[in-house]
Structure 1
Amino acid sequence: MSNSTGLKSYFQFHSVDWSAMRSATWETVWMTLLSMIAVVIFGIILGLILYETRSKQGIGFKIINWVVGLLVNIFRSIPYIILIILLLPVSKALVGTIIGPKAALPSLIVSAAPFYARMVESYFREVDSGVIEAVESMGATTWGVITKVLLPESKPALIAGATVTTISLIGYTAMAGAIGAGGLGNLVYQEGFQAYNNTITLVGTIIICIFVFVVQFIGDRFVKMTDKRTL
Structure 2
Amino acid sequence: MLNPQLWNLLVNALGETLYMVGVSLALSAVFGIPLGVLLVITGPGHIRPNRAIHGTLAALINIGRSLPFIILLVAIIPFTRLLVGTSIGTNGAIVPLTVSAIPFLARLVESALLEVDRGVIEAAQAMGATTGQIIGKVLLAEAKSGLLLGLTITAVSLVGYSAMAGAVGGGGLGDLAIRFGYQRFQPEVMLATVIVLVILVQGVQSLGDWGARRLKRR
Q: TM-score range by the shorter chain?
A: over 0.9
1:172 aligns with 2:161: yes
Matches within 5 A, 1:112-131: 112-131=101-120
Q: Find runs of 4+ consecutive structure 1 residues off by over 6 angstroms.
A: none
Counterpart in the other structure of 1:7:
none
Please give the alpha-carbon distance, in whole angstroms, between the structure 2 residues aligned to 1:61 and 1:14.
60
Change (3 A) 1:165 1:113: same
Counterpart in the other structure of 1:90:
79
Please give the alpha-carbon distance, in whole angstroms, between the structure 2 residues aligned to 1:154 and 1:200.
41
Unaligned runs of 5+ in 1: 1-11
Q: Alignment partner for residue 147 of structure 1, among 128, 133, 136?
A: 136
Normalized against structure 2, the TM-score is what?
0.95
Matches within 5 A, 1:30-69: 30-55=19-44, 61-69=50-58
CA RMSD in angstroms comes to: 1.5
Normalized against structure 1, the TM-score is what?
0.90
Tell me the amino acid that sits aligned with residue 75 of structure 1.
Answer: G
Please give the alpha-carbon distance, in whole angstroms, between the structure 2 residues aligned to 1:201 and 1:16.
15
Tell me the amino acid that sits aligned with residue 54 of structure 1.
Answer: G
Counterpart in the other structure of 1:72:
61
1:201 aligns with 2:207: no
Tell me the amino acid that sits aligned with residue 191 of structure 1.
Answer: F
1:212 aligns with 2:210: no
Sequence identity (%): 42
1:19 aligns with 2:8: yes
1:223 aligns with 2:209: no
Q: Alignment partner for residue 175 of structure 2, among 181, 186, 189?
A: 186
Please give the alpha-carbon distance, in whole angstroms, between the structure 1 residues aligned to 2:39 and 2:18.
31
CA displacement at 1:16 relative to structure 2: 5.8
Note if contact 1:54-1:62 (Cα within 8 Å) is conserved in structure 2: yes
Counterpart in the other structure of 1:28:
17
Deviations 1:97-121 (A, max 9, x none): 1110000111111111101111111
Q: Number of matched residues? A: 216
Deviations 1:176-195 (A, max 9, x none): 01100000100110111111
Bigger radius of gyration among the two: 1
